[in-house]
Structure formats: structure tokens, C-alpha cells
Structure 1
Amino acid sequence: MYFSKDSLAHFEATATPGQMRAACELIDFEMGVRDDNKKRRLMRRAAFPAIKSVEDFDFSELALPEGYAKEDMLGLGFVEAAQDFVFYGKTGRGKTHLAIALGIACVNAGYDVLYFSTASLVRKLTSALSEGSLEKLLKDIRRADVVILDEFGYIPIDVDGARLLFQVISEAYEARSLILTTNIEFSRWATVFADEKLAAAAVDRIVHHGRLVEFNGPSRRMDRSLMLGKAGE
């Protein structure tokens, strides 16, 4: 909604208090509708595989960096600062849950988020390269404020796919936030990229403006396993 200064001055000079109040209520309502529509668009674009909430996450087994608290993470200051997270831990410790929950919190704050399983992103990049649409895909990724790469290192990547994945990580450096979930320690990232130099360059960029968050404790899936008769506990 855009109004000229002349129109606003005329309305201010001629409107009754009731008309002024009604106009303000209309504008407030319209802004709320636009905000809700934006969040729905951002949620569709993010393509989260599930809905997760930070309220449902148990932070007691989380090892955050010294001097960095849960409240700092949930304040979302890392987005504007283009800072990264590496969520590291064994399978079933809640890495994906927290990554998605943070992503949804970012969407609710109006940020543009993209979620990928790392394997699916590599497939998309490889397919786009063969079809001549790689730049279009990369441009779409560049629009995001936060990119979540889930299950990093879970599935082997060939050399061409590793180079494309590195390009996404490299372009994110100091431009947007990355959240990576992985069970692979930094010293073994060369096995993911199939190239020690690529791995070292990726680690260097992420570590510079990033934080390592360690996920400890027992597997949440095993604790709630239907097969083990714990689903109702």
C-alpha cells in the first residue's frame, strides 16, 4: 500500500476520528494478512520434511560452544551475521529435529530458508548441470538467508557432485548461514569430498564464522522405539 503525501495530508485533515480508527484497523489487518501469506510462501519454499519445534527439543544433552547459550541460538542473530552451525553427533540424537526447528523459527521471523538432505541437493545440482540449468538453481539458493544441509556425509558423493556441493558451501561463506547436520568429524571430511584440498577449504570457511554443536546422550529413536516396546513411554 503506497499513498502520496498529498493524499495522506488530505485524509489527516478531513477524516473523522472514527474514519481514522477504521483506516488504521484496515491497514493493520492487511499487514497481518500479508505477513501470514509471506510465512506460508516461505514454508512452502523451505520444503521441510516435517514440522518440528524448539519447544519440543531437549537441550539438556546439547554441548554448545563456551560463551554461547541456548538463548543466543534461539535469538537468531546468527542469520544476520551469516554465521554457520555444524550439528555433530551420532544418529538419533536430534540433529535434524533442531535444524528443522531452527529453520522454522527463522521462517516465522521472515527469513528465507532452504532445507536439503545433502544427497538430494547433490542430485539436484548434478541434474541441473547436465540440463544446463545449474546457474538458475544456484541463483535460487543464493536468495536464501539460511541453507540447511541435513545428513552431510551419510551417503558417498562422487567427485563431480562433491565439487558442486563445495560450490554451494563456498558461495555461502559470509553471505548466508549454513546449518549442517553430520556424524562425520572434520578430520574425515576428505572422505565426503573425495578430495583433501576441497575438504580443507570447506572446513576452513565453515569454521571461520561457525560453531560446532555436539549432540550427546542416547538415541531418541531407540528411546521411543515401537519395536523395543517403548513407544508409549
Structure 2
Amino acid sequence: MNTTNTAKRRRATTLAQQERILDMATSLPSTKSVLREVMAEATTANLDLIERWFGLEIEQHARSRKARLIRQDGFPTAKSLDGYDWSRLKMPADWGRGRLESLEFIEHAEDLVLYGNVGCGKTHLAVAIGRLACLNNIPVRFFTASDLLMRLRRAKNDNRLDHELAAIGKARLVIIDEFGYMPIDEEGSRLLFQVISDSYETRSIIYTTNIEFSGWGRILGDANMAAALIDRTVHHGRLIRFQGESYRSQHALMTK
């Protein structure tokens, strides 16, 4: 009787292990039908080896995907939230650091406007949040406003604007850095508005800017377009204010 029970338990353990391997195989090139043939003749030691092998393959695929996302997303520097100075930020009353770091705003396709003087840590925070998203397998695209406009103009001139917009649209988070640092002409405003309009309620945008909303019309050269852009941003967005002097000025070598 004990021998029979032991055999049943061993058989149940083997079947459970085979099912785990088949589940792991769904994210690998091997087909389940091939695996079933192999496992039908496999020993327990063979199954242990296959399970460990597939587990390592899946872990490596995950690491490679995260590294690829970070490489492709255009971040200018490698920034993280470790040691970040949160004292400069004034967050919305009902929305704090924990919710920002949870990345829930991306899940809900909400926007963030990081507003403050030059050198207060806006770009650092935007990049750090973007890289955190990549580590959570969320596709991100980072642009300065001027670089984004150059890409869009070049794509339009080459008759591939739709392709460029589709490539940007694959991201779930788009970061537009230094918005408002340079004035934008009428064509540039229309191109930029197309990206923002396409993103509305489908993906999140983080803007970093030193221009308050009332000045966006001056930057875009079109008050109506600025109003439409602000309307979309405010509807599903939050404003994070940065206070204090420029970090770079405080630590500049020339001031020492």
C-alpha cells in the first residue's frame, strides 16, 4: 500500500512539474506539442533540468527587454530616484510621492506637468520616472521639445510622418523635456499638437517646463491651439511645482 501511495505521489508531482514547464514554454519559441513528446520519456532529473532551463531563459528575456527599452527610449542620462531631493517639490494635495512612484498615472493615461525654474530637478525626476517605467516593462519615449519637433519636421519632409507618429504611439509614456524653452512656429505647433492629441486618453505625457500655462499661447504662437492643448492636459493631468534656486548654480565650480 505504501509503495502504491508513493508511486501515486511521484506521478502527481511529475504531472504538476510537466504542467509548470508547459506554462513556462508559452513565452518561449518551443511548441507545447514538441515538449509533450520530450517529457513523455523524460526522467525526474530531466524534468528538473528543463524547468530550470526555461526559468533561466524567461529571466534572461525579461532582463534583455528592460535593457532594450532603456536603450531605445532616448534618455540623456542615467537618473534614478535614489537620493532624490523631494523637498523642492510641491505635489497636489490629493496626490503624493507614493502614487507617482507607483506609476499608476500611466495605467490611467494621465499627464504630469513638472513646472519650475531652470535647474530645480525637473528633468532628473522625469528621466528617473521614465527609467522606472522601463524597469516595469512599460515602453517610454524621451524627447526634448526641440528634438521632437526636428524629428517630426524631418518625417513630414520625407513623407513618413504617419510612420513616425506610429512609432511614438507605441510608447505608453512620452516625456517632452524643456517645453517652452524655445518658441515654436505655426507648423511646429501643429505637429506637436498632433502628438499630444493622439496621446489624449491613450498614453501619458510628462512635460518639463518653466513656462506657466498662461504663457503657452506665446510659445506656440496660437492661443486657440494652446487652449486646446491645456484643456487636454488639465483634464487628465496633475501639476507638480518645483521650488528653490537652481541646483546647478548652487553647486557650480565658478561660484566656489
Q: Does the alignment reach a TM-score above 0.5?
A: yes
List, as ranges, runs of 4+ consecutive aligned residues in structure 1 with deviation greater than 6 Å: none
C-alpha displacement of 1:6? 4.7
Q: Which amino acid aligns with 1:170?
A: S
C-alpha displacement of 1:165? 0.5
Match of 1:44 in 2: 71
- Asked if 1:97 corresponds to 2:155, the answer is no
Match of 1:75 in 2: 102
- Asked if 1:147 corresponds to 2:174, the answer is yes
- Asked if 1:61 corresponds to 2:79, the answer is no
Q: How many residues align?
A: 229
C-alpha displacement of 1:223? 1.8
- 9 and 131 in structure 1: CA distance in 2 versus 1, 3 angstrom threshold: closer
TM-score, normalised on structure 1?
0.93
TM-score, normalised on structure 2?
0.85
Give me the whole-angstrom Cα distance separating, in 1, the residues matched to 2:33 and 2:196. Answer: 49
Structure 2, unmatched stretches of 5+, are: 1-27
Query: Which of 1 and 2 has greater Rg?
Result: 2
- 130 and 7 in structure 1: CA distance in 2 versus 1, 3 angstrom threshold: closer
Give me the whole-angstrom Cα distance separating, in 1, the residues matched to 2:126 and 2:35. Answer: 45
C-alpha displacement of 1:218? 2.2
Structure 1, unmatched stretches of 5+, are: none
Counting only pairs closer than 5 Å after superposition, residues 116-135 of structure 1 correspond to structure 2 as: 116-135=143-162
CA RMSD across the alignment? 1.5
Superposed CA offset, 1:48-104 (max 9, x none): 111101113111121111111211100111111111100000011000000000000
Q: For structure 1, which segment, 22-31 or 96-105, has the greater mean C-alpha deviation from structure 2 after superposition?
A: 22-31
3-state DSSP class of the match of 1:55?
Answer: coil
* Percent of residue pairs identical: 41
C-alpha displacement of 1:152? 0.2
3-state DSSP class of the match of 1:211?
Answer: strand
Superposed CA offset, 1:82-133 (max 9, x none): 1110000001100000000000001111111111000111111112111211
Counting only pairs closer than 5 Å after superposition, residues 20-39 of structure 1 correspond to structure 2 as: 20-39=47-66
3-state DSSP class of the match of 2:132?
Answer: helix
